[in-house]
């Protein structure tokens, strides 16, 4: 059976490098296996979920190239959750509770003071019909808890009860259901909580693999019991490690700066972002990838490290630069044209100038838009930096006649060397400064024909142009 996976963000904020890693791993797994990738918007929290965030999530995923087979929204499925809740009530696994937050808080504090784990004591489970009737008469509305299977039949005292699964990333895993509180599945206002809605959806959508962050490991223990209580087979689970910053701290505090939108606005390439999200914290090197398919072919759960992945924005920027270096002209031609590269009067219509320009500068840019400043260098106005005027005077006199090609630079500098006995950096650096107005940059052998004789001569004479 082909896998069916889902990425289930809550539309309560922007996607960032941490949660996009979950999306990427799911998407690549589906791609590699011919499976289906579903976008599920976990929008049961009506107060914090917004349409604007839902739109932003779709926009970010589309920009990254992570298309989804279909979209599901939890807010449209409340009847399904109500029906599933009725089944759990009928089997005695969902029971009404009447404690207020304050009461629960006081109880937790008392338990902690006595050195006991602060788990729910199942007091509401012990109420009889008359107790319940009088509480309801006070106007209290119940919330509903899932009764974990962790006690002997006929008793409520939790006992150590291991829920185990073979995690596709972490191997054999265990959670002790005896150390957990019965989770609230339905709030006092009747709305269902994520722990529950997620399981109902995973069952109804036929999800085969739940791939998510390791912050959900404990949930998985509870959710496996829920799958079983609803008469379903639990899917496979895989919990990937979370990302930390270069200082070893959790990323969460700086996530605003690490949003996918922020990366887009910073001019990063989507494929570099996806490659970074997929490869960081794995046994593969973080490296430029030619396509999402190439990345999918490499993807394997066994390669994901259990240790936290270290995310450094500088590393992503470096990967972006390396990625640009791998791109052939055809892959960027349209975008270069939009950036104003090409189309100089007298240019060959086949884009020869733009192609040569791209091949010259692609190793010297951090983001694609950086080509603009190099386009200025070859075709715009540059303030030459004049050092060694005597040397530059000779260079001007020896400047070859056009047509120029990539051999011109070598011929020219050999002639200057012969006449001045200047060589190496002492020769090349003053030429670079005067021709480009910059300390460093692309290979001058490639830049020189793009600059052309007229501009080169003006700059050698110290004139801007």
Where residue 267 falls (left for φ over 0; alpha for ψ -120 to 50; beta otherwise) is left
Residue 451 Cβ vs ligand GLU, minimum distance, rounded to whole Å: 53
Among 17, 24, 42, 308, binds ligand GLU (CB under 6 A): 42
Residue 62 Cβ vs ligand GLU, minimum distance, rounded to whole Å: 19
Chain positions 5 to 24 lying near ligand GLU, rule: CB under 6 A, are 8-10
Residue 3 Cβ vs ligand GLU, minimum distance, rounded to whole Å: 15
User: With contacts defined by CB under 6 A, how many residues of the chain interact with ligand GLU?
Assistant: 9
Instruction: State residue 276 phi and psi, 5-degree precision.
Output: -65, -45
Residue 77 Cβ vs ligand GLU, minimum distance, rounded to whole Å: 14
Residue 241 as a binder of ligand GLU (CB under 6 A): the answer is no
Q: What is the DSSP letter of 16?
A: B
Q: Give CA–CA dist 407/404, Å, rounded.
A: 8
Decide: 251 and 245 in contact? Cβ < 8 Å: yes
Structural element, H or E, at residue 222: helix 217-229
- Specify the residue, 210 or 354, whose C-beta has the smaller distance to ligand GLU: 210
Residue 187 Cβ vs ligand GLU, minimum distance, rounded to whole Å: 16
Residue 224 Cβ vs ligand GLU, minimum distance, rounded to whole Å: 13
Of 76-84, 209-217, 316-324, 372-380, the segment contacting ligand GLU by CB under 6 A is 209-217
Decide: 377 and 456 in contact? Cβ < 8 Å: no
Residue 174 Cβ vs ligand GLU, minimum distance, rounded to whole Å: 19
- Specify the residue, 238 or 449, whose C-beta has the smaller distance to ligand GLU: 238
Instruction: State residue 312 phi and psi, 5-degree precision.
Output: -130, 120
- Specify the residue, 212 or 276, whose C-beta has the smaller distance to ligand GLU: 212
DSSP letter string, 99-127: --HHHHHHHHHHHHHTT-------GGGG-
Residue 213 Cβ vs ligand GLU, minimum distance, rounded to whole Å: 7
Place of tokens 């009067």: 345
- Specify the residue, 8 or 177, whose C-beta has the smaller distance to ligand GLU: 8
Residue 216 Cβ vs ligand GLU, minimum distance, rounded to whole Å: 6
Residue 44 Cβ vs ligand GLU, minimum distance, rounded to whole Å: 9
- Specify the residue, 95 or 194, whose C-beta has the smaller distance to ligand GLU: 194
- Specify the residue, 238 or 441, whose C-beta has the smaller distance to ligand GLU: 238
Of 3-11, 163-171, 173-181, 272-280, the segment contacting ligand GLU by CB under 6 A is 3-11
x/- site string to ligand GLU, residues 183 to 202, per CB under 6 A?
-----------x---x----
- Specify the residue, 193 or 378, whose C-beta has the smaller distance to ligand GLU: 193
Helices (H), 280-398: 292-298, 313-325, 329-338, 352-361, 371-379, 389-397
CA distances from 395 to 171, 320, 437, 441 (A): 68, 37, 16, 20
Residue 92 Cβ vs ligand GLU, minimum distance, rounded to whole Å: 26
DSSP letter string, 128-160: -HHHHHHHHHTT---EEEE--S-S-TT------
CA atoms lying within 13 Å on the CB side of residue 128: 1
Q: Give CA–CA dist 256/246, Å, rounded.
A: 16
Q: State the greatest distance between any 2 C-alpha atoms of the chain, in Å, as a whole number.
A: 110
> Per this entry, what is the length of the chain?
465
Instruction: State residue 159 phi and psi, 5-degree precision.
Output: -120, 155
Among 212, 276, 355, 432, binds ligand GLU (CB under 6 A): 212
- Specify the residue, 197 or 436, whose C-beta has the smaller distance to ligand GLU: 197
Q: Give CA–CA dist 165/303, Å, rounded.
A: 19
Q: Give CA–CA dist 230/227, Å, rounded.
A: 5
- Specify the residue, 235 or 379, whose C-beta has the smaller distance to ligand GLU: 235
- Specify the residue, 145 or 212, whose C-beta has the smaller distance to ligand GLU: 212
- Specify the residue, 25 or 274, whose C-beta has the smaller distance to ligand GLU: 25
Instruction: State residue 174 phi and psi, 5-degree precision.
Output: -140, 140
Of 2-10, 28-36, 126-134, 375-383, the segment contacting ligand GLU by CB under 6 A is 2-10
Residues of this chain that bind ligand GLU (CB under 6 A): 8-10, 42, 194, 198, 210, 212, 216
């Amino acid at each position: 059976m082909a896998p069916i996976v889902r990425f289930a963000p809550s539309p309560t904020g922007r996607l960032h490098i941490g949660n996009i890693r979950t999306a990427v791993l799911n998407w690549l797994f589906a791609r590699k296996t011919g499976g289906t990738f579903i976008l599920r918007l976990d929008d049961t929290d009506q107060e914090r979920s917004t349409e604007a965030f839902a739109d932003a999530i779709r926009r970010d995923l589309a920009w990254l190239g992570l298309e989804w087979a279909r979209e599901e929204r939890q807010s449209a499925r409340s009847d399904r959750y109500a029906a599933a809740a009725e089944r759990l009530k009928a089997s005695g696994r969902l029971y009404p509770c009447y404690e207020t937050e304050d009461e629960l808080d006081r109880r937790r504090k008392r338990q902690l003071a006595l050195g006991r784990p602060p788990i729910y004591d199942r007091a509401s489970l012990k109420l009889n019909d008359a107790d319940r009737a009088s509480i309801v008469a006070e106007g209290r509305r119940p919330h509903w808890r899932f009764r974990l299977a962790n006690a002997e039949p006929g008793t409520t005292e939790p006992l150590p009860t291991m829920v185990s699964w073979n995690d596709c990333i972490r191997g054999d895993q265990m959670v002790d259901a005896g150390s957990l509180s019965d989770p609230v599945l339905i709030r006092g206002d009747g709305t269902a909580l994520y722990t529950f809605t997620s399981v109902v959806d995973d069952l109804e959508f036929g999800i085969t693999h739940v791939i998510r962050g390791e912050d959900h490991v404990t949930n998985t223990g509870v959710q496996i019991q829920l799958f079983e209580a609803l008469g379903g087979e639990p899917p496979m689970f895989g919990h990937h490690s979370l990302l930390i910053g270069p200082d070893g701290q959790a990323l969460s505090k700086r996530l605003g700066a690490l949003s996918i939108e922020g990366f887009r606005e910073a001019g990063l390439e989507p494929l570099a972002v996806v490659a970074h999200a997929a490869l960081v914290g794995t046994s593969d090197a973080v490296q430029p990838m030619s396509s999402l398919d190439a990345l999918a072919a490499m993807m394997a759960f066994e390669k994901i490290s259990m240790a936290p992945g270290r995310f450094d924005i500088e590393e992503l920027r470096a990967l972006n630069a390396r990625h640009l270096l791998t791109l052939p002209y055809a892959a960027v031609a349209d975008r270069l044209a939009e950036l104003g590269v090409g189309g100089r009067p007298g240019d060959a219509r086949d884009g020869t100038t733009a192609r040569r320009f791209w091949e010259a500068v692609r190793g010297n840019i951090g983001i694609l838009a950086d080509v603009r400043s190099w386009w200025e260098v070859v075709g715009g106005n540059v303030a030459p930096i004049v050092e060694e005027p005597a040397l530059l005077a000779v260079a001007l006199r020896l400047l070859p006649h056009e047509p120029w090609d990539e051999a011109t630079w070598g011929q020219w500098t050999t002639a200057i060397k012969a006449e001045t006995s200047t060589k190496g950096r002492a020769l090349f650096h003053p030429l670079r400064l005067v021709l480009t107005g910059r300390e460093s940059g692309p290979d001058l052998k490639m830049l020189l024909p793009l600059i052309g004789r007229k501009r080169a001569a003006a700059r050698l004479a110290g004139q801007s142009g």
